[in-house]
Amino acid sequence: MTIQLNGKGYEAPTGITVLGLLESIGLAPGRAAVEVNGRVLRREDFRRVSLAENDRVEVVHFVGGG
């Protein structure tokens, strides 16, 4: 299926969880925050929440800033 990940189309296995997505892009779950369709997820829900076709997913982390 195709989801919108950080503003771009991204191919992911159907039914993938948020945790699975983070793993597939090589990101430690403890260092990211995720928003699905405008709703911010609690970190403990990464394992539970599955993604669907066309979901808008934002994955953010901390970078240097002032």
Partner 1 sequence: MQNEHLTIAGRSYPSRLIVGTGKYPNFDVMRQAIEASGAALVTVAVRRVDLTKRGGESLLDYLDTHKVALLPNTAGCYNEEEAVRTARLAREAGLSDLIKLEVIGDEKTLFPDNEGLLKATRTLVKEGFIVLPYTNDDVVVSRRLRDAGAAAVMPLAAPIGSGLGLQNPANLRIILEEIRDIPVIVDAGVGTASDASIVMEMGADGVLMNTGIARARDPVRMARAMRLAVESGRLACEAGRVPRKLYASASSPIEGTLR
Q: Could you list the residues that contact partner 1 (CB under 8 A)?
A: 5-8, 10, 25-27, 31-35, 38, 40-43, 58-66
**Residue 19, φ and ψ in degrees, nearest 5:** -60, -45
For residues 2 and 19, what is the distance between their CA atoms, to the nearest angstrom? 17
14 vs 38, which CB is nearer to partner 1? 38
Quick one: tokens of 65?
A: 């800033």
2 vs 6, which CB is nearer to partner 1? 6
Place of tokens 């950080």: 6
* Smallest separation (angstroms) from partner 1 to the CB of 23: 12
* Smallest separation (angstroms) from partner 1 to the CB of 63: 5
* Smallest separation (angstroms) from partner 1 to the CB of 15: 21
For residues 44 and 8, what is the distance between their CA atoms, to the nearest angstrom? 25
